[in-house]
């Protein structure tokens, strides 16, 4: 187990824009260095659809993600990952084997809702 995280000011946390959206497309990303999926997430009318590369292949198949709500940081700059532009950072936790488990809400919420 590692030590406690560095302390940050509330304003620093509030600057991170975490939203929820629904996965509308998902496919394998064989060009990625580590196993990953390319996903498209609908964040509603304010933000629209955004793409993300997510290293979630251990627990999720592309077809099982369609219609699922996921959380993502939407205000990081886009990042080029091989031939793919990842526009948002999809959020998850490592399980005990280091495989990512997605973060989501326990009840449906509107696409684009912001984490408080």
- Here the tokens at position 40 are 């498209």
Residue 3, pLDDT > 90, answer no
What are the start-end ranges of the E strands in 6-116?
A: 18-28, 37-42, 49-54, 69-73, 79-81, 84-86, 89-90, 92-94, 100-102
Q: How far apart are the first and last CA of the chain?
A: 28
Domain count, the chain: 1
Q: CA 78 to CA 73: how far, in whole Å?
A: 11
Asked whether residue 108 is assigned to any structural domain, the reply reads no
* Claim: this prediction has a pTM higher than 0.75: yes
Residue 24 falls inside a structural domain: yes
- The CATH number of residue 97's host domain is 2.40.50.140
pLDDT of residue 42: 98
Q: Is residue 94 part of a domain?
A: yes
């Amino acid at each position: 187990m590692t030590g406690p995280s560095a302390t940050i000011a509330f304003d620093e946390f509030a600057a991170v824009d975490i939203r929820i959206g629904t996965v509308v497309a998902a496919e394998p990303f064989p060009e990625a260095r580590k196993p990953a999926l390319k996903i498209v997430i609908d964040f509603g009318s304010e933000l629209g659809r955004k793409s993300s590369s997510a290293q979630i292949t251990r627990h999720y198949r592309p077809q099982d993600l369609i219609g699922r709500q996921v959380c993502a940081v939407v205000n990081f700059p886009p990042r080029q990952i091989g031939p793919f532009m990842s526009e948002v950072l999809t959020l998850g936790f490592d399980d005990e084997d280091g495989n990512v488990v997605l973060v989501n809400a326990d009840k449906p919420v509107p696409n684009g809702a912001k984490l408080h």
